[in-house]
Structure 1
Amino acid sequence: MPPPLAVVFDLDDTLCDTTGAMLTALEAVSLRTPAFADRSPAELHALQIHVMQGLDAQIFSGALNASQARTRRFELMLSACGDPAPDGASAALAYREVYRASFRQTRGAGQLLKALREGGLRIGILTNYLREVQQETLEVTELLPLVDALVTVSDAPPKPHLGSYAAICKALDVTPDRAVMVGDSWTNDVAGAVSAGLRAVWYAPVGQQAPADVPHRRLNSYEPLQQALEVILG
């Protein structure tokens, strides 16, 4: 098998600690929001993920932009927690302020991307969210200068649609067999990528077990760096 020419990464909870930032922001919002007061950050996070999944179709179709989606998300969350007059806009604004300030790279991510680029590989990001948000995420975490191509649901169908992987390979000017996909979602970043002809590395930091027999490599951490490079590059 020829060596890869490009490495494609998922973004949320792969290169960035999205869940950690969400939990921090939800805890801050709960302190000033009576309807959330009896819910733990973990409970609010589970509710948020459920609500976000319900809004995905409207976001992916362009019916909701990022700001509208956040407002609607918090309206639904507040209603689910018993608020009779949910002010989604105010809650979303308070959340976003803390969320953005709390965003961090996944430990070792920046060092890994630098090493891959120094080795001559192209770096792509393939993510199931809006370009305006994910571009900002890369800027805030200082990863943007290390990225050669960004493909989002603003540009192509969401993963695991085959067109998603085709779009990032085209943006990186590589054929699928010369690209490696790295991400935390089994469905989107392993099974979908392999179906599209890419090699796959499952980023599984909490030791999850593979749910199916799909060819892949497994990575639990980006540290130590040399070990992560060996897993990704095979």
Structure 2
Amino acid sequence: MADVIFFDLDGTLVDHRTAVFDTIGQIVRAAPHATAPPEDLAALWWSLEARHMGEYLAGACSFAEHHRRRVRSFLPALGEAVPESPALLDAWITERYLAVFEDSWQCYPDVQPCLETLKQLPRGPRLAVLTNGDPGQQRAKLSRFGLLDYFEAVLTPTELGAAKPASYAAACRVMGTDPARAVNVGDMLSSDVNAAALAGLTGVWLDRGVDFVTGGPSPAADASVLRVERLTDLPGRLSSLRA
């Protein structure tokens, strides 16, 4: 059996995509001068998130600055002037985005039953979260849904000094395990499964039936990929994992 199981967070434990689209939809519907329908501007925000989150993960800016860059690019489409002051940009994020976004968080219903089953296994694996998100925000999500106590560690680029996929080796070192005895579970076939396998871990693809990035159907996967459709299927698959 695996020594450690790493869980991705967004798209795996918490429905990040739906929360983002719900939040921007609310913001756009309350903006009298928006330049496009809510669904179009939500898609724009989603693309800006991917671009500027990538800059943060590459070390090109801080987490707060990646939010500011997003807002600078988004406000003209919302029909609003762009403040020059970083403090005003931060206030927009706090008051108009984060307040709604945090209320929109939803934990997938299969998460707690899976974690509870793993917790009850005799000599079961240690559990950790491995995420590219901001540590404060990610811990807040886990705390909101009563999940923090299931995990020995919550590992982010802040603690590890690198983002996935480079952080897999560092995460194994922090947890004191060999990659060959570690499993990574996530909804992103490329970064959570294939990249984990390249780092020596066993990757398990949580196929929720939707592509996290595009919102379209799940990507095609090789038959050799270890795949579950629900997290509650994971404990039963552990006996087949040669980690």
Mean CA deviation greater in 171-180 or 28-37: 28-37
Mean CA deviation greater in 188-197 or 205-214: 205-214
In the other structure, the counterpart of 1:85 is 81
Q: Does 1:52 align with 2:49?
A: yes
In the other structure, the counterpart of 1:28 is 26
| Structure 1: distance between partners of 2:148 and 2:133 | 16
User: Shift of residue 9 of structure 1?
Assistant: 0.7
Are the aligned partners of 1:66 and 1:133 in contact in 2 as well (CA < 8 Å)? no
Of the candidates 150, 158, 161, which is equivalent to residue 163 of structure 2?
158
Amino acid in the other structure paired with 2:226:
R
Are the aligned partners of 1:193 and 1:200 in contact in 2 as well (CA < 8 Å)? yes
How many residue pairs get matched? 225
Amino acid in the other structure paired with 1:216:
V
Normalising to structure 2: TM-score of the pair?
A: 0.82
| Structure 2: distance between partners of 1:203 and 1:179 | 16
Q: Does 1:148 align with 2:144?
A: no
Mean CA deviation greater in 164-173 or 60-69: 60-69
Are the aligned partners of 1:9 and 1:126 in contact in 2 as well (CA < 8 Å)? yes
| Structure 2: distance between partners of 1:115 and 1:85 | 51
User: Shift of residue 127 of structure 1?
Assistant: 1.0
Are the aligned partners of 2:130 and 2:154 in contact in 1 as well (CA < 8 Å)? yes
- Indicate the percent of aligned positions where both proteins have the same amino acid: 26
In the other structure, the counterpart of 2:181 is 178
In the other structure, the counterpart of 2:237 is 231
In the other structure, the counterpart of 1:107 is 109
User: Shift of residue 24 of structure 1?
Assistant: 1.8
- Structure 1's unaligned 5+ residue stretches are none
Normalising to structure 1: TM-score of the pair?
A: 0.85
Amino acid in the other structure paired with 2:32:
P
Can you list the C-alpha shifts for 1:82-137, whole angstroms capped at 9, x where unaligned?
63613544542311101111212112101211221222211111111222221222
User: Shift of residue 183 of structure 1?
Assistant: 0.5
